[in-house]
Amino acid sequence: MFYIYILYSGSSDKYYVGHTDDPARRVIEHNTKPFNTYTAKHRPWKLVASFPAGESRGEAVRIERYIKKRKSRTFILKLIAHQQDPEQIAQLVRVPTGRD
């Protein structure tokens, strides 16, 4: 099972969205990896939400990209607020599969 996770950096007041098969491991990696990356510059990160994205990495990537393309802090806050309601999450991240 793959998950979408949302991290929050209190020191930078920023959110980060990613996908993984183990959200707890990814939080540790974001906070400890020695590489010079975006997340390394805004440590420490706290896991504020995670929700299932599907059995395939491809589905998780599609949902992650959809969230990131929105470039909306308000949208991310809605996802965090509704993380316990799978139906709400499904409606919020209903990724279009074709052209309208």
Measure the CA angle with vertex 67, ends 65 and 69; round to 5°.
Answer: 65
CATH no. for 2-92: 3.40.1440
**What letters, b where the CB count within 10 A reaches 16 and e where it falls short, cover 17-53?**
bbbbeebeebbeebeeeeeeeebeebeebeebbbbeb
pLDDT by residue (tens digit) across 65-95?
A: 999 999 999 999 999 998 777 777 777 777 5
Task: Tell me what pLDDT residue 100 has.
Answer: 47
Mean pLDDT of the chain: 89
The answer to whether 24 and 47 are in contact (CB under 8 A) is yes
74 residue type, one letter: T
pTM attached to this predicted model: 0.87
